[in-house]
Structures are given as C-alpha cells and as structure tokens.
Structure 1
Amino acid sequence: MTKMDRFICFDGVRSYIPNPSDPLENFADKWAEHPERRAAFYEWLEAARRDFFYATQVSSRQMITDSVAPRIGRGLAERARDRAEPKPASSLLRTATAASATAAATPTFPAERRIPGKPAGFGGI
C-alpha cells in the first residue's frame, strides 16, 4: 500500500496504470474523462493506508479482522483471519512424526551384508 501510487505513470497526456497480467489494459483509462475517479482513487488509497497501518498496530487477529472488515467486508476479513490461524496437526500426523523422529534417532542396520541385484521387471527385462 505504501508504494502503490508509484505504479501510476503519466505520459504527458494521460495517467497510466498497467495491468500486470495484461499490459495493454490501463486501469486509469477513464481518469481524463472522469477526473472524479482519479480523486476517488487517491481518497481510497489514503483510507486503505490508514486502515492497514492501524491493523498492523493491533495485537489480536480478531482486532485486525474488525479493523479491516468495514472496508473489505466482514466475510472476506473473516476468511483471511481463518486462513492465517495455525491449524492443529491431526493425531495421525503427530503419531507418524513422533515415530519417524524416534526411528531417525536410533538407526538400525541389518546383520548380514546386502548386495544389490538386477532390478526385476524393470523396463520389461
């Protein structure tokens, strides 16, 4: 947000904001005919900077959600909050991880010497 306005170019006649996925598209193509859209963009940008700055100052995920919800919508804010929360590992994953950690800590080797043989059935042979 702090550097967003650096992507606005001016060619001497018109403002130009290229779409990163389609460089031929200009997000500011109507600003010359509708200067109120340019003004509205800058008002929105300043409001977004204030909102996101405030969100960085609060400590709980719920406070962050509450601070951005009026601007981006409650549903989107809550989905972002939920995606950011760490998910508890399943008991199966914890068991497998613990077992592999134990096995890795105490390596075992077979008593008899192992000699690799020709792979059976490899490549039709």
Structure 2
Amino acid sequence: MTAALAGQLVVAEKVEFDSSIKNHSIIHIKNRVDVRTYPAVAIIQVWIKLWLKNEERQSVILSMYNPSGHMLIHNRIDQIVSVRPAGMPPGMDMQREIRVVVTQPGIYPLILRDAEQNVIAEYPLYISKES
C-alpha cells in the first residue's frame, strides 16, 4: 500500500460495467485459468478497485509475470481521479481485459503498482492445462 493509493485486484470470468447505474458486476471470481495446450493465449478479465488518499491525479501500472519471473505485460493506466460523489470515499473502479501467451503451468502474478513502483495489490493467478 502506498501513501497516496490503496487497491484491490480480482480476476473473474467476466467483468461488466453498467454505465446507466455506474456499477461493475463481477461474475465467477477465478483463482485458476485453464488453457487447452501450450503455448496458448489466455484471456483474463481483471477488476481494479482504487481508493485515493488525496486529490492529486495518479497513475498506476498493471504488470503480469510468468512463473519464471519474466514480465508478460506492463500496462500504464493514467488519469486516475476520483469519480465518486462527495461524501463517499474517493476512488475509482475499472476493468481490463488482458491477453497473454502462456507456455507453462504455474502461478502468473498480477501486480498493481503506483508510479513510484510501490506495490498496491497482487493477485496470484494459477494457469494450467485443462484436465
């Protein structure tokens, strides 16, 4: 957790945003993703929740690594500002669809960092071959 941000990551089968009521729906939270063969492209839905501890604009970086520690994605997300009405805790929710090439079974960590590389949240996603 950083001085300016706190956050959470969740991987799900599907993350939907309803713009009329400004809410996300998270369907079937996943701790594991199965692929048919190696190599394969895994499609991963990620919900990101951020709490802002000040009014400054922030940016975050979403990274994913393979089990050997090699970085697969490095996605900078800019213009993080509170979109909530006064009286609510300042923050922002968002979703991302990630497509990564997987070549082996194991834990593929998702890590959310602030602009200074401080870890905000982590999600240890297990990816394996369908049985």
TM category, shorter: under 0.3
User: Comparing both structures, which one devotes a greater share of its residues to helix?
Assistant: 1
- Pick 1 or 2: higher relative contact order, CA cutoff 8 A, min separation 6: 2
Larger radius of gyration: 1
TM-score (norm: length of structure 2): 0.22
Higher strand share: 2
TM-score by length of 1: 0.23
